[in-house]
């Protein structure tokens, strides 16, 4: 005779199956994909990502991607998260707070120029004990060597790339850091959306259509067989700056 526990388990399994079906349907929902792309373009023009903070620090991310990162962190439970690009430090604080809830782990942030007021604010933050910052180019050999030393003995490791968005720089970061990602974890490349925005959108920025994180991801995947794009995350979010950039290590 079925028990209440069996009934609860069945309800949960049905809910999970329904979610999977919706996500799978979203992959080929041309109307929703078109609406999402149009909204993304309009939101970039309005600097939408600058509207949000996490625990008092500007995060400069889309909330949808932050929810996706929370799901990844909970699934992977990394001992170490390495992020290139610090800015105001909101995402460092965000990841540190997730690790605090899990009860383990440290975040290493790398930036070529850590502004003093941002450094002070991060160092004084309640999550500071789980944050380490390195100033320097993320692709400089001495910085890469330092990060490799910090990563030694840690598992799982999660990588987040969100600094200079040119093809050359992102590809160099992927070649430098992707090998630190443990099987089942992720290397997340932000701002692949550059490739979907109008070609004249970027002004004096050194990146743009044809020279972007997505072109770097495509080049990297062509030369490295250890990762695959998690298209389920893209379909789930609809609104994301990292479409095609959620790379899961599979071998």
Q: Domain total for the chain? A: 1
Taking Cα atoms as reference points, which of 244, 183, 184 lies closest to residue 212? 244
Q: Which domain holds residue 199?
A: 4-249
Q: What is the pLDDT of residue 8?
A: 79
- Average pLDDT in the chain: 96
Q: What is the pLDDT of residue 194?
A: 96
pLDDT tens sequence across 96-140? 999 999 999 999 999 999 999 999 999 999 999 999 999 999 999
Q: What is the pLDDT of residue 170?
A: 98
Beta strands in 55-191 (DSSP E): 57-58, 80-84, 106-111, 131-135, 157-161, 186-189
| CA 2 centroid distance within chain | 42
Q: What is the pLDDT of residue 180?
A: 98
CB neighbours of residue 79 within 10 Å: 18
Task: Check: CB of residue 86 under 8 Å from CB of residue 114.
Answer: yes
Q: What is the pLDDT of residue 141?
A: 98
Q: What is the CATH number of the domain that holds 17?
A: 3.40.50.150
Rounded average pLDDT per 10-residue block, the chain, 251 residues:
69 94 94 95 95 98 98 98 98 98 98 98 98 98 98 97 98 98 98 94 91 98 98 96 98 97
pTM of the model: 0.94
């Amino acid at each position: 005779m079925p028990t209440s526990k069996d009934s609860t388990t069945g309800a949960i399994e049905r809910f999970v199956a329904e979610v999977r079906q919706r996500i799978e349907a979203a992959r080929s929902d041309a109307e929703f994909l078109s609406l999402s792309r149009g909204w993304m373009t309009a939101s970039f023009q309005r600097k939408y990502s600058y509207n949000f903070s996490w625990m008092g620090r500007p995060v400069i991310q889309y909330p949808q991607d932050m929810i996706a990162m929370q799901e990844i962190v909970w699934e992977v439970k990394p001992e170490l998260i390495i992020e290139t690009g610090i800015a105001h430090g909101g995402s460092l604080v965000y990841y540190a707070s997730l690790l605090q809830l899990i009860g383990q782990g440290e975040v290493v942030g790398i930036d070529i120029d850590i502004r003093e007021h941002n450094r002070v604010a991060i160092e004084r933050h309640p999550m500071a004990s789980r944050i380490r910052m390195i100033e320097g180019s993320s692709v400089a050999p001495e910085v890469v060597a330092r990060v490799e030393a910090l990563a030694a003995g840690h598992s799982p490791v999660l990588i987040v790339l969100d600094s200079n968005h040119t093809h050359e720089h992102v590809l160099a970061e992927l070649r430098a850091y992707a090998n630190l990602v443990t099987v089942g974890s992720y290397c997340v490349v932000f701002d692949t959306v550059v490739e979907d925005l109008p070609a004249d959108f970027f002004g004096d920025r050194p990146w743009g259509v044809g020279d972007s994180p997505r072109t770097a991801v495509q080049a990297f995947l062509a030369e490295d067989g250890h990762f695959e794009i998690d298209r389920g995350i893209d379909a789930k979010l609809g609104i994301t700056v990292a479409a095609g950039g959620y790379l899961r290590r599979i071998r």
